[in-house]
Amino acid sequence: MLALAIAVAMAVLGLPPVDFHGPLHKFGIMDPLCGGTRAARYTAQGNLSEAWRYNPLSIVIVCGAALIIVRTVVGFISHRWVTISIAWTPARRRWAIVIIIVLVALLEIRQQMRADLLMAGTQTWV
């Protein structure tokens, strides 16, 4: 819920005047989370194409936070909770770990290919 609240605050107020970048960012080395703040702001504004340009992971995070809030509200109102359970066998767990590692590696490559965009100046707090 905090992630969604922060995204909405950034959508309304603008980006914070704080530099969240790691030390390697100034040398042009991006990480998988680079562009996430701007992407979260664009997602909260409903501009998904611009959010995707900066970091597709933020769309997943903001939308996931919104779904959690909807689940919570519906649960409190109806007293019925939507629950998803997965039978984690060792094979499924290994496949999930492999898939996550591959997706993070692909996101890292994608973000590095967009280093010029991600290093460009950002908007400041309004």
**pLDDT (tens digit per residue) in 5-64:** 777 777 777 777 776 777 777 778 888 888 888 899 999 899 999 999 999 999 999 999
CA distance 106 to 32: 9
CA distance 90 to 97: 11
Q: What is the pLDDT of residues 61-76, one digit of tens each?
A: 999 989 999 999 999 9
CA distance 71 to 91: 30
CA distance 75 to 15: 33
This prediction's pTM: 0.74
Q: What confidence tier does 2 reach under pLDDT thresholds 50, 70, 90? A: confident
How confident is the model at residue 121, as a pLDDT? 61
Strands (DSSP E) contained in 6-113 are none
CA distance 76 to 70: 10
